[in-house]
Amino acid sequence: MTEKEFFIETLRKEIPVFERVLKAVEAVPKSKLIYKHDVKSRTTFELVKSTIGAESEMFPIFLNTGKIDFTTMPKPTWKTIEEIRKVFIKNMKETLKIASGMTTKQWNASAAIYMNGKTEKDWQTTRGNMAWDFLLDLIHHRGQLSTHLRPMGGKVPSIYGPSADTQ
């Protein structure tokens, strides 16, 4: 199995996990989405919108073009977790389609993140490595999000096995 094939297989397995966690957040009363662990933390809704939703929009862009400029990305305008979940699933399915159609040369082609048109020196890599970095970052933020559920009165779904709420 190639690295690209492993990414595709991993993403296929992760999409339903993300969907379960996002549906668990949807089940929480909207008034609770202002929850945050600490004053420095984002609220639950901000976490979903600015990381899970916004990052999902970036995958197709950098896989197709090899670059993404954070400063030119439109600010997310989603109003509900359901809306973000649907966009996320659509973007991840599009990411699967793009990655599946990429040649090894395209997967290994250069990619970079820009801020105000200037390359960020720590974010120059291959499209494949960037895809992995973004996926792992999304998984990290999904883990953060899952820690919000119980304090908001929600239930933690199965992520990599049963949770105390699913047994």
pLDDT digits 0-9 by tens, 91-134: 999 999 999 999 999 999 999 999 888 887 778 999 999 999 99
**Whole-angstrom distance, CA of residue 162 vs CA of residue 143:** 15
| Residue 30 lies inside a defined structural domain of this protein | yes
Residue 132 lies in a domain: yes
Handedness of CA 37, 43, 45, 49 (dihedral sign): negative
Is 56 domain-assigned?
yes
Residue 167 lies in a domain: no
- The domain that holds 14 is classified in CATH as 1.20.120.450
**Is 135 within the bounds of a domain?**
yes
pLDDT at 122: 78
Residue 21 lies in a domain: yes
What is the domain count for the chain?
A: 1
Range of the domain at 85: 3-152
**Which one, of 41, 52, 37, lies nearest residue 82 by Cα?**
52
Q: Is residue 166 in a domain?
A: no
Looking at residue 123, its pLDDT comes to 84
Give strand pairing partners of 117. Answer: none
What digits encode the pLDDT tens for the residues 43-93?
A: 999 999 999 999 999 999 999 999 999 888 889 999 999 999 999 999 999
What's the DSSP call for residue 80? Answer: S
Q: Is residue 163 part of a domain?
A: no
